[in-house]
């Protein structure tokens, strides 16, 4: 089962959610890996923030979790321009996913930034995150903010997914505290998108995902 984890913007908490889903499915006895094909922002000594989380907390090494790594904290398409000796090899990318699929029950593929991020720029077009999802994934987990602004972000995001014919997605409101504003955001997004909005709290652990949310993931594997 190949699951793409994206969000409505950057710094919403994709890595935080990804590592906790990894731990939960691992505890349930599934073989699982994390793959972040495009990682930007070196933090020194050839270390990268998200990949370090996967290494230190999930015990997954860079060789497994990464493919393209860049020094600057920019969009992948700009990172490719800055480090122009690197070129996108889509077949290499697809081969990696196929290899991982043969070894693991679940692959959590973490995107870079939000859903509409360009990954690579050709002369007359872009290879977009949506293209990556279509080529690699069966289910999308959308990480939403819980704060002010979440409603507009979620509606625009869902409209984009629906119009682009992407796989079905689960909405997960991250760092949820249950405040009055957050509760209203949750209910408004549910009504506006006609989708269930799941929640995951700040400083949460794998047990804090709802059973329904997890069953939607595991059920997809068993279909």
Residues acting as catalytic residues: 36
- Structure-token pair, residue 55: 């290494």
Instruction: Give the Cα separation of 23 and 17 in Å (integer).
Output: 10
Burial of 187 by CB count in 10 Å (0-12 exposed, 13-18 middle, 19+ buried)? Answer: exposed
Instruction: Give the Cα separation of 81 and 83 in Å (integer).
Output: 6
In the three-class reduction of DSSP (H, G, I as helix; E, B as strand; rest coil), residue 215 is classed as helix
Instruction: Give the Cα separation of 164 and 176 in Å (integer).
Output: 28
In the three-class reduction of DSSP (H, G, I as helix; E, B as strand; rest coil), residue 47 is classed as strand
């Amino acid at each position: 089962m190949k699951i793409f984890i994206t969000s409505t913007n950057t710094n919403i908490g994709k890595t935080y959610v990804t590592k906790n889903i990894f731990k939960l499915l691992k505890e349930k006895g599934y073989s699982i890996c994390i793959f972040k094909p495009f990682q930007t922002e070196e933090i020194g000594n050839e270390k990268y923030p998200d990949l370090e989380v996967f290494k230190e907390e999930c015990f997954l090494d860079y060789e497994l979790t990464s493919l393209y790594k860049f020094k600057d904290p920019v969009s992948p398409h700009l990172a490719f321009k800055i480090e122009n000796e690197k070129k996108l090899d889509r077949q290499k990318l697809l081969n990696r996913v196929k290899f991982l699929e043969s070894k693991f029950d679940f692959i959590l593929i973490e995107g870079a930034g939000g859903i509409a991020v360009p990954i690579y720029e050709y002369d007359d077009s872009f290879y977009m995150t949506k293209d990556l999802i279509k080529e690699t994934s069966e289910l999308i987990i959308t990480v939403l903010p819980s704060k002010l602004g979440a409603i507009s972000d979620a509606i625009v995001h869902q409209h984009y997914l629906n119009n682009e014919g992407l796989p079905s997605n689960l909405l997960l409101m991250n760092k949820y505290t249950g405040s009055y504003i957050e509760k209203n955001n949750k209910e408004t997004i549910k009504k506006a998108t006609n989708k269930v909005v799941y929640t995951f709290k700040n400083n949460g652990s794998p047990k804090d995902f709802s059973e329904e949310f997890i069953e939607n993931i595991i059920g997809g594997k068993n279909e």
